[in-house]
Chains A and B, each alone.
Chain A
Amino acid sequence: MQQLDNQEILMKLKSSKQFWDIKKKIKKGFNDQQKIGVNDIQKFAQSCEIEDQLTNLISHILKKSKKRETLKEDQIDFLNTSKIKWTELLFKNLDIVHQKTKNQEEDDTNTDSKLYIYDEKNLLAFLQTFKQQQSSALYQNVQFQSNKLLNINIPLKSSQQILDKYQYLLLQEELQDEKINKIRKQIENEHLDIELEKIAQTFVPNGERCLLYLKYFEFDHQETILQQNFTKLQKECLHQLFYDELLEIDGHEISEDTFYFVFQEQILTCLKCFIRDKTIKENIRIQLQNGIKKEHTEFQLPITGFFPFKNISKYVAPLCYLSTKIHIIYALFKEFFCRYFCFLHAISSENNSILSLCMQIEEIISTNSPKLFHHLKVIGCDTLKLIIHQLIYCFVGDMDPPHILTIYDQIIGHDSLEILVILCVGFLNKYKSKLLLAKNYENVQQIFQELREDKFQELVQFAYKQ
């Protein structure tokens, strides 16, 4: 449904650099001609592909103006059923957690730390239980391999396509001051999201990152509204929820992190507001849980429509670097979660879903590093089990903040989480030689417990190393 009138479309066009480049081109094409008719312009535009560029630009504006619909139903039936089963499982976990917290209140010596509804291992274990339900002619290009952890027949982008898409990162060079200043000016002047995506794909100066993100999410002139909304949510936090307790426990890990401990209180405040935010259900790109608890109605799903999970704090933490204003941090976190991170917790066949990303990683490793893939299987450590934590939490806690923010840039730059596939493959390739010497799971754990420093560009290099 078209929501913008012609005037609005023109305004959006005028805020794009590409529009002005096209206009310049047309002007140049007619030089000093005095009388120019509409037909003349149209003929000229058709002759040098300007008409196509303009058409694409306008259709992009119209597409972006459409209200985002939350994906509720998957094209594959058994995944819809699985989502319901997952939700039921989580309700059971919630009951168990609630009982544990009650026990801890009564007995101080009881220090059971598993006070979360689910973590990444639980999610992966659930995905593993999927069995090939039915084959479909549509997905014949997916090779069914019994040695893979996940055997699900879903439409999958070719892994070579993903590798090719991000290969340009290998050529990234350190930019000179002049180029950086040019990019700064571009960010200040640009408003169109496809142009901002192009910038995000190449390089985002630290000083302009927050502005780029705010512009991309169309928040740059909405600070007052963001502040008012956040203040309302903060007031609602005065009324305690059981989930607040889980969020406080979740914050303990981030409070021990050398890069994020300073933001501990801010992270908790953001999360408490998040689980009370009514607008999330309509803004989130994909439904995470499906089902309403019928019996024992002490706890229902939070108003967001999904349960908070272990390490949810990690998604907020890196964004705390971007602003001194908590309502800005909150707005950015909410948008990142609703657009991208939600897919990491969704039972879905969508491209960005945890299922697709995992299958892509297994595909690349089994094809490009078969020795490693096989060795890990033999010693009882599946490839996915090694990288599931890094994948689901976007390497937060594994990489220093500047590298995490580069990951976030790439996510925006391609409107996709596929960069995580590249980085996970790179991560496994980096430690390949040590992993090949590991004899069991304990050896493998020791490798990752040593003090290590994983960097964005380094992992990209390793992803393409044979």
Chain B
Amino acid sequence: MQNKKLKWKSDFEKSVIIENFVNRGWIKSQEKEEEQTDWNVYWATQIINHFPNHYELTRKDCMVKNLKRFKREQDKEVLETFNFDFLPTTYIFPGEYSLFVEEFHRNPNQTWIVKPAARSQGKGIFLLRKIQQLKKISGTTVTSNMTQLNLASKENYVVSRYIDNPLLIGGKKFDLRMYVLVTNYKPLKVWIYNKGFGRFCNEQYTTDVAEIENMFVHLTNVAIQQYSDKYSQKHGGKYSIDALKLYVESAYGTDALNKMMDDIHNIMLTSLKSVQAVIQNDKHCFEMYGYDILLDSNLKPWLIEINASPSLTTTTPVDKNLKMNLINDVYNIVLPNDDFPDNDQKQQQPTKVGGFTLLYDENLDPNNRKTQKRQSVKIWK
């Protein structure tokens, strides 16, 4: 028996929907249609900027789990089409603690980076050189002969090999924020944005153990760097991707730049492919991801994490310009001509819309991913 008189609203005048509402004794929201906010249930024609279980990609522990699973599946394939050498060795705590300890003892000089699986903005992150430091997350003393770790909070942690030889410019560490739009997972359709930026630390990079806890040296998050004395509001520590590409090409050569970009595209495609089977695809969903990528001193890119809700806060006029255009271009793809595109219209979309370039469309060439990648590099240029 239903006792509550819930209020309903619907974009569809479908009898099966309306009659269900009526049969339950629910009341139609009486406000003027355009002002209807007083409802409990809304049967909508809408699009939404997230896939239901995006956390499979955007939680650090799930991303690692899915990539490892995908790699195991691909290792069984005859043809090698994916390169997985972009994820630093990572363990998920608490489950993989004992495996971590074994690896830790094999490489006593290795620095590790510990991150909460589901937090952002650099919160809770620290660098690890001694097992005892794990007291920070266990709440109790941790010794190297322990075989399991009990965490103080219920959240998981990921512990990755710290990339201690990052590419430095002007002596400072940085990472890249790049934007990727997925308009469909099955089949996969991926767009890459031509603007992004490097986020710079304010202090000169050093591997000196005395500075291991200095977050202004090691963590590139703007949320952290903005508290540095050297932080500038004019540029916010953000260095455009275009400037970075010019630097890499001029200082390292065109071939080096092309390889770096190819490797970055590989990271994006492989990571998305790794969750293709598990993400709940919905034609009403799209998602714009913020990819965080670190370049090492050999120009090799490493995947740090993928953000489902990349910050749209603007810290500088240039930043505002970038993000305004980014969102505008997202709408131009997702709602061209302010309308929901049907399948035919989606098929006929150009490969370049504003700052977005089509990186991959499984519809076009589902079996030849390598060819698609080479084509996409040319489009990118």
| Interface residues in chain A, defined as those with a beta carbon under 8 Å from any beta carbon in chain B | 205-207, 209-210, 255-259, 261-266, 320-324, 400-402, 405, 451
Among the listed B239, B243, B251, which residue makes an inter-chain contact with A210, where contact means beta carbons less than 8 Å apart? B251
Q: How far apart sit A259 and B198, CA to CA, in the bound complex (Å)?
A: 11
Whether B247 is near chain A, meaning CB under 8 Å from some CB there, is yes
Chain B residue nearest in CB terms to A210: B250
In the complex, what's the smallest C-beta–C-beta distance from B140 to chain A, in angstroms? 43
Query: What is the distance, in angstroms, from A253's C-beta to the closest C-beta of chain B?
Result: 10
A322 in complex: contacting residue of B235, B238, B250, CB < 8 Å: B250
Within residues 147 to 175 of chain B, which ones have a CB less than 8 A from any CB in chain A? 169-172, 174
Residue of A with least CB distance to B236: A258
Residues of A within 8 A of B249 (CB): 206-207
Q: Looking at the complex, which one of B170, B242, B252, B321 makes contact with A262 (CB distance below 8 Å)?
A: B170
Choice from A207, A262, A321, A401 contacting B172 with Cβ under 8 Å: A262
Contact B239 A209 (CB under 8 A): no
A465 CA / B170 CA spacing, docked (Å): 41
Bound together, the chains give a CA A402 to CA B249 distance in angstroms of: 11
Contacts of B250 in A (CB 8 A): 206-207, 209-210, 321-323, 405
Q: Which partner residue on chain A sits nearest B168 by CB separation?
A: A324
List 27 A-B residue pairs with CB atoms under 8 Å apart, sorted by A's residue number: A205-B254, A206-B250, A207-B250, A207-B253, A207-B255, A209-B250, A210-B250, A210-B251, A256-B235, A258-B239, A258-B240, A258-B243, A258-B316, A258-B318, A259-B239, A261-B239, A262-B169, A262-B170, A262-B172, A320-B170, A321-B250, A323-B250, A324-B251, A400-B243, A402-B246, A405-B250, A451-B321
Q: Which B residue's beta carbon lies closest to that of A184?
A: B254
CB contact list, B211-230 vs A, under 8 A: none
- CB pair B234–A256 under 8 Å, yes or no, is yes
Question: How long is the Cα–Cα vector from A263 to B170 in the complex, in angstroms?
Answer: 5
Q: Please provide the 3 A-B residue pairs with the shortest distance between their CB atoms, ordered closest to farther.
A: A207-B254, A256-B234, A262-B170
Say yes or no: A206-B246 contact (C-beta < 8 A), given A256-B232, A258-B318, A324-B251: yes
The residue on B at minimum CB distance from A401 is B246
B187 contacts the other chain (Cβ, under 8 Å)? no
B170 near A322 with CB under 8 A, answer no
Bound state CA distance, A215 and B242, in angstroms?
27
CB distance from A402 to the nearest CB of B (A): 6
Output the nearest chain B residue to A264 by Cβ-Cβ distance: B170
Contacts of A264 in B (CB 8 A): 170
Q: How far is the CA of A402 from the CA of B247 in the complex (A)?
A: 10
Q: Which residues of A contact B253 (CB under 8 A)?
A: 207
Chain B interface extent, by class: 20 to 34
CA distance A320 to B244 in the complex (A): 12
**Residue B288 interfacial (CB < 8 Å):** no
Residues of B contacting A259 in the complex (Cβ-Cβ under 8 angstroms): 239-240, 243
- State how many angstroms separate the Cβ of A357 from the closest Cβ of chain B: 27
CB distance from A324 to the nearest CB of B (A): 5
B191 interface hit (Cβ, 8 Å): no
Q: Which residues of chain B are near A255, meaning CB under 8 Å?
A: 232
- Asked whether B200 is an interface residue with its Cβ less than 8 Å from the other chain, the reply is yes
User: Which residues on A sit within 8 Å (CB–CB) of B294?
Assistant: none
Pair A321/B246 contact, Cβ less than 8 Å: yes
Known: A258-B316, A262-B169, A265-B170. A323 touches B251 (CB 8 A): yes
What B residues does A209 contact at CB under 8 A? Answer: 250
**Nearest CB on A from B90, distance (A):** 29
> Once the chains are docked, how many angstroms separate the CA of A321 from the CA of B251?
7
Interface digits, B251-287 against A, CB 8 Å rule (1 contact, 0 not)? 1111101000000000000000000000000000000
State the CA gap A207–B252 with chains docked (Å). Answer: 7
Residue of A nearest to B253 (CB): A207
Give Cα A261–Cα B200 distance, bound, in whole angstroms. Answer: 10
> For A258, what are the chain B residues with a Cβ–Cβ distance below 8 Å?
234-235, 238-240, 243, 316, 318
Give CA–CA (A321, B245) in the complex, Å: 10
- Give the residue name and chain of the A residue nearest to B171 (CB): A265
Residues of B within 8 A of A402 (CB): 246
CB closest residue in chain A, given B319: A258
By CB atoms of chain B within 10 A, which of A258, A320, A400 has the most? A258
Contact B170 A321 (CB under 8 A): no
Q: Contacts A258-B318, A261-B239, A265-B170 known; A206 to B254 CB distance under 8 Å? A: yes
B200 in complex: contacting residue of A257, A262, A321, A400, CB < 8 Å: A262
A265 touches B251 (CB 8 A): no
| Minimum CB–CB distance for B224 against chain A, Å | 18
Within 8 A of A (CB), among B272-321: 316-318, 321
Q: Which residues of A contact B316 (CB under 8 A)?
A: 258
Enumerate chain A residues within 8 angstroms of B170, measured Cβ to Cβ. 262-266, 320
Chain A minimum-CB-distance residue to B232: A256
Q: Is B204 an interface residue (CB 8 A)?
A: yes
CB distance from B298 to the nearest CB of A (A): 12
Closest Cβ of chain A to B12, distance in Å, is 45
* Identity of the chain A residue whose Cβ is nearest the Cβ of B381 in the assembled complex: A177
The answer on a CB contact under 8 Å between B251 and A451 is: no
CA distance A255 to B170 in the complex (A): 11
Residue of A nearest to B204 (CB): A265
Q: Is the CB of B243 within 8 A of A401?
A: yes
Residues from chain A with Cβ under 8 Å of B171 in the complex = 265-266
Residues of B within 8 A of A266 (CB): 170-171
Give min CB distance, A403 to chain B, whole Å: 11
Minimum distance in angstroms from B326 CB to a CB of chain A? 17
In the complex, are the beta carbons of B239 and A262 less than 8 A apart? yes
Q: What chain A residues lie within 8 Å of B257 (beta carbons)?
A: 207
B242 neighbours in A (Cβ, 8 Å): 400
Q: Is the Cβ of B254 less than 8 Å from the Cβ of A261?
A: no
Q: How far is the CA of A205 from the CA of B257 in the complex (A)?
A: 13
> Which B residues from 177 to 192 make CB contacts under 8 A with A?
none
Residue from A263, A321, A322 whose CB has the most chain B CB atoms within 10 Å: A321
